[in-house]
Structure 1
Amino acid sequence: MTTSTWPSTLEERIDRLESIDAIRQLAGKYSLSLDMRDMDAHVNLFAPDIRVGKDKVGRAHFKAWQDQTLRDQFTGTSHHLGQHIIEFVDSGHATGVVYSKNEHECGPEWVIMQMLYWDDYERIDGQWYFRRRLPCYWYATDLNKPPIGDMKMRWPGREPYWGTFHDLFPSWKEFWALRPDKDSLPQVAAPAPLEQFLKTIRRGTPAPKMRVR
């Protein structure tokens, strides 16, 4: 079913509300299982055939990659979720954006981070899962070093690099490229249609691709 026909009945509207809550719970479970290092609980939040890198598929490969990443880079982590926007493609697929403010113990340094996740969700056998999570970073830096300026991703032992926090949304570059005329009122676009806010704010650009690590 497409968004033009779903939800239409009372049962479908109730299902939509229950799905929103289930997806929000999914994001919360992601943070808790990651921070508490319960790798089985964590990988089971993703579709059974989740892709890992270019040529690996399945939760076992995802668990192996996640385990190594956490052991190699972090002593401890804490993920604090912010606003969560969810829009449905149909009754079994949805997209979402979740803000996350994170803290990381990286040996002798305490790294804070601001980011968002661009998510794809899928309902499989009646349960919602992550189909994909694309992390988009604004900054990461030592607690005592504000990330002023460019290249805000500043991890211990690495050269600073650019995050992708604003790259998904053309409005960021549009805002800075164009200064409105102070003597005239600006035009205001029509509000986004139902279930089309994220698509509208992204100006219809294609869904982002997961970076291969």
Structure 2
Amino acid sequence: MPDAGLEDRIARIEAQLAIQQLAARYARAVDSRNLADLGGLFSPQTNFGEHGSGEDGARAFYDRVLAGFYRSFHQIVGHVITDIDADSARGTVYCRAEHEDGDHWIVNLMVYFDRYTRVGGRWYFLGRRPRFLFVGDPRSAPRSIDFNRWPGREDRFACELPQSDESWSTFWEQHPDDRDKVTSLP
């Protein structure tokens, strides 16, 4: 009789590896403007609103998004996968995304909050929710309260991290004097 514990651990490792590939494959597909590969990363039940669901919805949605800037480079800099079970998981993906937008070169420091699902033995994105740490020109330090400096798109990116994390508030509540020494921004 095979070791059930070993089989479960191997299945978990295989799930982690497959899910990690989703983030890297997403970055590659977006940057190469490969809508066929990009659409194939999303589950049939992923809803893209007016664009539809699943692969076709993803392709239609990203066709519009990616036409909004010329070049992009997505660098995956960390991936944490949690709550893995047989057919679902959650994760966070840290990313540095760079975009050529007209005469501007814009950097987005962001975190994707992902939900994953396994359908027919294959892992897909069920949903992705990006949250931003900084959006702007990398040659200048962020000095505005919202850390968003993408000309003409300031209203599209709410830079809410890390301040919206509960642990952030708890930490700085315990160190109010130190916080005041290291920043003039709230």
TM-score (norm 1): 0.74
For the residues of structure 2 that align with 1:92 and 1:117, how far apart are their CA atoms? 20
State yes or no: 1:95 paired with 2:76. Answer: no
Q: Secondary structure at the match of 1:148?
A: coil
What amino acid is aligned across from residue 85 of structure 2 in structure 1?
Answer: D
State yes or no: 1:14 paired with 2:46. Answer: no
1:35-72 per-residue CA deviation (whole Å, 9 max, x = no partner) reads 0000110011010121113784332222112111111x
Q: Secondary structure at the match of 2:22?
A: helix
Q: Find 1:38's aligned residue among 34, 38, 42.
A: 34
Q: Percent identity?
A: 35
Question: Contact 1:150/1:162 (CA < 8 Å) preserved in 2?
Answer: no
Q: Secondary structure at the match of 2:20?
A: helix
State yes or no: 1:61 paired with 2:52. Answer: no
Question: Contact 1:100/1:116 (CA < 8 Å) preserved in 2?
Answer: yes
Q: Secondary structure at the match of 2:168?
A: helix
* Structure 1 partner of 2:169: 173
1:173-203 per-residue CA deviation (whole Å, 9 max, x = no partner) reads 222223389xxxxxxxxxxxxxxxxxxxxxx
For the residues of structure 2 that align with 1:158 and 1:42, how far apart are their CA atoms? 24
Q: CA deviation at 1:163?
A: 1.4
For the residues of structure 2 that align with 1:43 and 1:96, how far apart are their CA atoms? 20
Q: CA deviation at 1:30?
A: 0.5
Q: CA deviation at 1:26?
A: 1.1
For the residues of structure 1 that align with 2:162 and 2:49, how far apart are their CA atoms? 23
Q: Find 1:47's aligned residue among 39, 43, 48.
A: 43
For the residues of structure 2 that align with 1:140 and 1:173, how far apart are their CA atoms? 22
* Structure 2 partner of 1:186: none
* Structure 1 partner of 2:107: 112
For the residues of structure 2 that align with 1:58 and 1:22, how far apart are their CA atoms? 19
What amino acid is aligned across from residue 126 of structure 2 in structure 1?
Answer: R
Q: Flag the structure with higher helix content.
A: 2
Q: Which 4+ runs in 1 deviate beyond 6 A?
A: none
Q: CA deviation at 1:80?
A: 0.5
Q: Secondary structure at the match of 1:60?
A: helix
Q: Secondary structure at the match of 1:34?
A: helix
What amino acid is aligned across from residue 169 of structure 2 in structure 1?
Answer: K
* Structure 2 partner of 1:158: 153
For the residues of structure 2 that align with 1:34 and 1:81, how far apart are their CA atoms? 13
For the residues of structure 2 that align with 1:12 and 1:117, how far apart are their CA atoms? 27
Gaps of 5+ in 2: 178-186
What amino acid is aligned across from residue 27 of structure 1 in structure 2?
Answer: A
Taking only aligned residues, the RMSD between alpha carbons, in angstroms, comes to 2.1
Question: Contact 1:49/1:59 (CA < 8 Å) preserved in 2?
Answer: no
For the residues of structure 1 that align with 2:14 and 2:122, how far apart are their CA atoms? 11
Gaps of 5+ in 1: 1-7, 182-213
For the residues of structure 2 that align with 1:14 and 1:55, how far apart are their CA atoms? 37
